[in-house]
Structure 1
């Protein structure tokens, strides 16, 4: 294994360990010492891959967002009909939106941006990436099924992400709240 491969493997293992640590404990209670220890590395290995705890948490959140977007893309690609696509998306939303660990970590870390402009900018970039992915999904659904979205894809993406964030927060507090509003809004955006 080359040095670069070993470093990439170390970074990957640290990210995986940190994700579980942050999701289980939250940002404030997470410890770089504990993450390094559980991963089987020194704290120096953490700092050779990430500048600080903020950078590590941002990398974890970026990874989670990418995974969630990939789940949606793969799920919708596997469904041949429009109704099956909506049903699959609705099921995904019900299982995913309001996941307490992920939702509360996002909120806790976002609050840090109040006093840290660098974190705010990085979170804004991450949100822009998610909106771009959602816009691509909306455009893909429209093209695949011959639909017309009542809003430009970018505006539809902003509306869907905003609803998803708000619904996620509400469901983290009240898990019994249905997630149907997200799929219903997607239907309405296509005039269905």
Structure 2
């Protein structure tokens, strides 16, 4: 087997650290997970962590990037090529599994609170939120090409759906009996009412 180059080895180390941190952040939370614990669990020295990430915040941003990319990819895959009702049914299945997932939801909330007094970290989170909204808007635009315009411009639709999803996720962590159907009913109303599009 060919020996890994230094860049390949570092990329593999980084990937393993992110995967380990992801599991620990989701299980134990942001504050309870130290860089020492991540390094030890991943089988590396703490120096290996610092050679890849400046601090725990940067590692958590990498973990959230990983989670967000996977979820966006999954949503895009489950709705691709489907008619409206089939796509909404597929999205509902995803939402039932993921919206209100305790580990993911609480990590997002805990890390947002962590960023409250750090303008640079808040800016990083804001940039990521803009990117997620842009991705949702692009999905909405692609959907609109085949199914007609939604009741809101795609940017506003993305903001509304992301905001509702975040709030619903928090509520479902507290009370798992809350139905995810409110999100999909809202989605159905917004994409099925072009006559109510604002002027």
TM tier, shorter chain? over 0.9
Match in the other structure for 1:124: 126
* Segment of structure 1 superposing worse, 135-144 or 95-104: 135-144
Question: Normalising by the residue count of structure 1, what TM-score does the alignment of the two structures yield?
Answer: 0.96
Match in the other structure for 1:162: 163
Counterpart-to-counterpart distance in 1, 2:113 and 2:161: 22
Match in the other structure for 1:61: 64
Counterpart-to-counterpart distance in 2, 1:92 and 1:24: 21
Which string of whole-angstrom CA distances, capped at 9 and with x for unpartnered residues, describes residues 142-172 of structure 1? 212x221111100000000000010000001
Residue 49 of structure 1 aligns to a residue whose secondary structure is coil
Please tell me the root mean square deviation across aligned C-alpha atoms, in Å.
Answer: 1.0
Which string of whole-angstrom CA distances, capped at 9 and with x for unpartnered residues, describes residues 59-82 of structure 1? 1011111111110001111x5322
Structure 1 segments of 4 or more deviating over 4 A?
A: none
Aligned length: 190
Match in the other structure for 1:88: 90
Question: Normalising by the residue count of structure 2, what TM-score does the alignment of the two structures yield?
Answer: 0.93
Match in the other structure for 2:75: 72
Match in the other structure for 1:133: 135
How far 1:34 sits from its partner (Å)? 0.9
Which string of whole-angstrom CA distances, capped at 9 and with x for unpartnered residues, describes residues 30-60 of structure 1? 0111110110100000000000001001110
Please list every run of 5 or more consecutive structure 1 residues that lacks an aligned counterpart in the other structure.
Answer: none
How far 1:191 sits from its partner (Å)? 2.5
